Amino acid sequence: MQIRVSKNGAISAKKKVAITGLAIVLAIILTSVFIGVMGHNPFEVYASMLEGCFGSAHRFRQTVITAIPLIITAVGIAVAFRMKFWNIGAEGQILMGGFAATFAALYFKDLPAIILIPLMIILGMIGGGIWALIPAMLKAKFGTNETIVTLMMNYIALKWIVYLQYGPWKDPAAMGFPKIANFTDNAILPKVFGIHMGWIIAIVLVIGIHVLINHTKAGYEIQVLGESENTAKYAGMNVRKIMIFAMLLSGGICGLTGMIQASAVNNTLTMDLTAGVGYTAIIIAWLANLKSPWIVVVSVFFAILTQGASYIQTAYQIPQAAAEIIQGVVLFCVLGSQFFINYKVHFEKEVAKEAM
């Protein structure tokens, strides 16, 4: 028996949904067995996960707050991925966006909120954009591997924030604790319906990027470059200019996440600002097929997994490691389903050749 794998052609949306649905069913079955082995009723645990996400107004707000940075960062990553620029540096871009926004919050804290917050947003996007521009210019000029460069720059950004936290920006009032001072009230994003206005920013971004990619010349050029650099050059497109523009936009959006998290969630800058959002958003962007509307759906799914897993730890005294296993099994099955969407497996019988 021979097993052969071939590239799948274009498949219908219904088939994609069916494959993903089967993956989710398989994940439910596997996690049910695991939960049963721990001595809990799987249906009660699943119900509790949903209760932990939507069981009260507070829990619902926390789920939305968890989804906001995932949505914004995944949208930013999707812009770069559209042109096959593998931006693995969202973590660093978030941190540098947070750094630039914090600079405004600390040194211009006497400004009114109506001026300070837009300034923080602008600087946050500039900080993330510049951090993404460096690997883009290296790629355009020297043909460097963007995956390695963007990944390495994450660690540079992290160490820079650690340096600030333990050094120049260390709060003298923190009694020796390595902490940057909390933002003043005028530097904190206001709330709308009990949730910081980051959710409004996320919605505007999703719509804006969807229009940009699908209905503008710039978006068309990004997609053509992603399909074939030679085709883009043959069509007279300025490849270097497109690459730099797309990465400035991608990094700027990720930097905006840093501003929102620093201002609205942490109320300060810390080395734990990203909480792994930059890496999780890569998976989200890929699962959403780089489409902004689907990024919202997948991000909410991830937020439910995260919040639900945290809730069942307390409700059922399930260890954190066990809750993470449940998350991992679900993600493994959903990600694994992408293989069967993109590829076809053929089982063929070997035909024995008679000796001459």
Would you say 71 and 208 are in contact if contact means Cβ atoms under 8 Å apart?
A: no
- 300-329 pLDDT, tens digit per residue, is 999 998 898 888 888 888 888 888 888 889
Measured CA to CA, the distance from residue 111 to residue 89 in angstroms comes to 32
Measured CA to CA, the distance from residue 131 to residue 258 in angstroms comes to 13
**pLDDT value at residue 356:** 47
Measured CA to CA, the distance from residue 185 to residue 191 in angstroms comes to 12
**pLDDT value at residue 16:** 82
Angle between helix 90-107 and helix 113-142 axes, rounded to 10 deg? 140
**pLDDT value at residue 266:** 95
Q: Who's near 19: CB < 8 A, 6+ residues apart?
A: 337, 340, 341
Residues facing 348 on adjacent strands:
2
Q: Who's near 111: CB < 8 A, 6+ residues apart?
A: 119, 186
Q: Who's near 349: CB < 8 A, 6+ residues apart?
A: 1, 2
Would you say 91 and 278 are in contact if contact means Cβ atoms under 8 Å apart?
A: yes
Measured CA to CA, the distance from residue 65 to residue 190 in angstroms comes to 13
Domains of the chain: 1-40+318-356 (no CATH), 67-316 (1.10.3470)
- 218-237 pLDDT, tens digit per residue, is 999 999 999 998 999 999 99
- Over the chain, what is the mean pLDDT? 91
Name the 3-class secondary structure at 347. Answer: strand
Query: Which regions in the chain score pLDDT beneath 50?
Result: 354-356
Measured CA to CA, the distance from residue 257 to residue 108 in angstroms comes to 20
From the list 109, 83, 108, the residue with the least C-alpha distance to 248 is 83
**pLDDT value at residue 355:** 47
The residue behind tokens 């919202």 is 296
Q: Give the residue ranges of DSSP H helices in 112-197.
A: 113-142, 146-166
Q: What is the DSSP letter of 143?
A: -
Number of residues in the chain: 356
Question: pTM for the whole thing?
Answer: 0.91
